């Protein structure tokens, strides 16, 4: 798999270019605190047809380098930019979950490369985000299984026990260790763009589960309302992993959003 270098830190990433999209334009996924690439599976399948998809492994996760923390959101955004540069991506449609949404917002403040943002379960300030509600020690299967209670609604858990078991298995194999999670949590705690939202003029779709216990709905509403080109999708009853339990609604919105904001090939 290819790697990008950011000031001596090697970031591993994957490119799926099977689609017919512009090779200079790609959907770029940014991950939540401590979570492996499994989290992108439900949306990756929906966008990989018409678009090139780039999936970085956040520093500390998977086979990317894990330098000592703490990290900052700005540093993680610079990792994403290094990946985009290495992959030849000129226009990036950045899709971020939780911490990854914060990275997307910070990236849009420092670069013209982002063409659109989609942020899921993301606040304008890390003070409104309970990162401990996302991560569970991957070496402790019972903790991983228990964490899904807060991340997915009761109705989804009752109907889809098979999905829960698959997620638990992926998490034990792909999620970050405690040291990396604490480095990611420090990035969350240091993040605050609440007084700079007016500067983020990149079109941004704010997706949120109405029953999210990691990031309160009010924080997502504040984010969407404060962005000059922000739009909102709230999914009733869904929790933080809204892209998993309401994948059909989220994917429909995402595919439409990307079609609306993709570059005109004739321009």
Let me know if residue 232 belongs to a domain: yes
Entry pTM: 0.96
Let me know if residue 21 belongs to a domain: yes
What CATH number is given to the structural domain containing 79?
Answer: 3.40.50.1820
Let me know if residue 266 belongs to a domain: no
More confident residue, 23 or 265: 23
Q: What is the pLDDT of residues 63-95, one digit of tens each?
A: 999 999 999 999 999 999 999 999 999 999 999
**What strand order describes the sheet that includes 3-6?**
3-6, 9-16, 52-56, 25-30, 91-97, 114-120, 204-209, 230-235
Let me know if residue 224 belongs to a domain: yes
Domain containing 243 equals 3-261
Q: What is the pLDDT of residues 146-170, one digit of tens each?
A: 999 999 999 999 999 999 999 999 9
Let me know if residue 25 belongs to a domain: yes
Let me know if residue 31 belongs to a domain: yes
- What domain count does the chain have? 1
Let me know if residue 47 belongs to a domain: yes
């Amino acid at each position: 798999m290819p790697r990008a270098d950011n000031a001596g830190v090697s970031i591993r990433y994957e490119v799926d270019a099977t689609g017919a999209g512009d090779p200079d334009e790609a959907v770029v996924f940014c991950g939540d605190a401590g979570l492996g690439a499994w989290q992108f599976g439900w949306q990756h399948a929906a966008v990989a047809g018409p678009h090139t998809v780039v999936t970085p492994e956040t520093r500390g996760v998977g086979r990317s380098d894990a330098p000592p923390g703490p990290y900052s959101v700005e540093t993680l955004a610079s990792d994403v930019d290094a990946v985009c540069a290495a992959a030849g991506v000129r226009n990036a449609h950045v899709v971020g979950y939780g911490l990854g949404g914060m990275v997307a917002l910070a990236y849009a403040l420092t670069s013209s490369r982002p063409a659109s943002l989609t942020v899921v379960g993301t606040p304008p300030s890390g003070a409104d985000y309970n990162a401990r509600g996302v991560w569970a020690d991957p070496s402790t299967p019972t903790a991983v299984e228990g964490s899904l209670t807060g991340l997915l609604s009761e109705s989804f858990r009752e109907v889809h026990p098979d999905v829960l078991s698959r997620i638990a298995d992926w998490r034990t194999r792909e999620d970050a260790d405690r040291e990396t999670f604490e480095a990611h949590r420090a990035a969350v705690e240091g993040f605050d763009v609440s007084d700079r939202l007016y500067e983020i003029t990149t079109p941004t779709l704010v997706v949120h589960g109405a029953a999210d216990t990691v990031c309160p709905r009010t924080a997502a509403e504040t984010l969407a309302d404060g962005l000059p080109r922000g739009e909102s999708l709230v999914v009733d009853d869904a929790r933080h992993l809204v892209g998993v339990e309401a994948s059909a609604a989220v994917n429909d919105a995402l595919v439409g959003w990307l079609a609306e904001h993709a570059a005109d090939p004739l321009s």
